[in-house]
């Protein structure tokens, strides 16, 4: 049986994983507040702490704008917490009465007993882990992108009041490292990176020796080359008990992307029709959904083709 939240379909905008200019980032969130049919917006730096200062001055205005538009605002933490000041920042966000998305287990002690969200970088793959984080104070769990449908069903089933969120659009983050390959690819080191990740607003393609795109490099993270797209799977996910559906910001028209997913969730668009409208917005990036079907992640199960 699906959990008691199965009829709820909340659309969320995950944290921006790429390094955009402060002005582009600010304007993106202003547009999210005014035009995107999303219920929650995740802010905060997830990939590299060196990027954080760039957007700090704009945060108060962005938060106010989003809240005035009726959006739930969440502050996402780093996926790799390595310094005491980063743990301190987590405590400060919680003390500031902000909802925090924890992306590193180092956050759990700081957030113990406080309502918070578990992000996709904390590997909740079974009921034991799910129940542990819920007992610690989590009210929502964003499942790892590698979770197949069989695992999602188990985790969403009998989740009670715990909300379950799944990424349904965007490049999938596969790993986070201490070192920065984005800098190395440009002949630099992490300490003297010159923020070259900002040159690639949708990430840097990594290719095989035969010239095929296979991965995307984004700062210290490695991502899928293709966009994870689960349009056709939305109804199945809702039946399983998934309550929140995440869109990851990409350098495309995210307002229109959000509208297509919202209309599909609301039954105004058939998945095939929504996909046909989505593809011109995202070309030439391919689509992937292999993880959902228990296959290699870069595969696309086009079972809906005529």
Contact predicate 233/147, CB 8 Å: no
74 beta partners: 42, 99
DSSP codes of every residue in 230-246? -STTHHHHHHHT--EEE
Condensed to tens digits (0 to 9), the pLDDT of residues 250-287 reads 999 999 999 999 999 999 999 999 999 999 999 999 99
pLDDT at site 30: 98
- How many other CB atoms are found less than 10 A from the CB of residue 71? 20
pLDDT of residue 88: 84
Instruction: Please give the Cα distance from 54 to 18 (Å, whole number).
Output: 13
Topology (CATH) of 10-173+222-288: TIM Barrel (3.20.20)
Mean pLDDT by 10 residues, the chain (306 residues): 54 98 97 98 94 92 97 96 83 85 92 95 96 97 98 95 97 94 91 92 93 93 97 96 98 98 97 97 97 95 63
User: 282 Cβ partners below 8 Å, 6+ apart?
Assistant: 227, 250, 252, 257
What gap in Å lies between CA 184 and CA 214, rounded to an integer? 18
- 48 assigned to a ligand binding site: yes
> Of all helices (H) and strands (E), which one includes residue 127?
helix 127-136
For the stretch 251-255, contacts whose Cβ atoms lie closer than 8 Å and that sit 24 or more positions apart, written own/partner, are 251/18, 251/201, 251/202, 252/281, 252/282, 253/281, 254/13, 254/28, 254/32, 254/36, 255/31, 255/32, 255/35, 255/36
Residue 197 is labelled as binding a ligand: yes
Give backbone dihedrals phi and psi of 140, rounded to 5 degrees, phi first.
-145, 140
**8 A C-beta contact, residue 41 and residue 73:** yes
Q: Determine whether the annotation assigns residue 180 to a binding site.
A: yes
pTM greater than 0.85 (yes/no): yes
Q: What are the tokens at 78?
A: 């780093």
Give me the DSSP letters along 33-65: HHH---SEEEES--S-GGGGGGGGGGHHHHHHH
**Structure confidence at residue 7 (pLDDT):** 52
For the residues of 14-40, what is the DSSP string, one character each? PPP-S---HHHHHHHHHHHHHH---SE
What pLDDT score does 304 carry? 55
pLDDT attached to residue 218: 96
- pLDDT tens readout for residues 132-166: 999 999 999 999 999 999 999 999 998 999 999 99
Phi, psi of 274 (to 5 degrees): -65, -40
């Amino acid at each position: 049986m699906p959990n008691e939240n199965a009829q709820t379909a909340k659309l969320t905008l995950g944290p921006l994983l790429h390094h955009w200019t402060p002005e582009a980032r600010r304007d993106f969130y202003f547009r999210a507040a005014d035009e995107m049919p999303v219920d929650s917006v995740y802010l905060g730096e997830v990939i590299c702490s060196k990027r954080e200062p760039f957007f700090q001055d704009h945060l108060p205005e962005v938060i106010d704008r989003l809240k005035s538009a009726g959006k739930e605002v969440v502050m996402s933490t780093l996926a790799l917490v390595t310094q005491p000041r980063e743990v301190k920042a987590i405590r400060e966000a919680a003390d500031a009465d902000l909802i925090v998305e924890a992306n590193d287990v180092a956050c759990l002690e700081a957030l113990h007993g406080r309502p918070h969200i578990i992000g996709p970088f904390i590997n909740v793959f079974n009921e034991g882990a799910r129940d542990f984080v819920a007992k610690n104070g989590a009210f929502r769990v964003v499942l790892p992108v590698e979770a197949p449908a069989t695992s999602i069903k188990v985790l969403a089933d009998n989740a009670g009041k715990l909300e379950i969120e799944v990424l349904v659009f965007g490049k999938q983050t596969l790993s986070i490292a201490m070192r920065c390959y984005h800098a190395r690819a440009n002949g630099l080191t992490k300490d003297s990176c010159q923020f070259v990740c900002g040159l690639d607003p949708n990430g840097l393609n990594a290719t095989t020796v035969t010239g095929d795109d296979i991965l995307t490099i984004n700062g210290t993270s490695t991502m899928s080359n293709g966009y994870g797209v689960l349009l056709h799977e939305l109804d199945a996910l809702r039946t399983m008990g998934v309550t929140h559906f995440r869109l990851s910001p990409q350098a495309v028209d995210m307002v229109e992307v959000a509208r297509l997913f919202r209309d599909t969730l609301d039954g105004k668009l058939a998945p095939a029709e929504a996909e046909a409208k989505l593809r011109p917005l995202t070309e030439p990036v391919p689509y992937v959904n292999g993880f959902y079907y228990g296959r290699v992640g870069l595969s696309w199960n086009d079972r809906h083709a005529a």
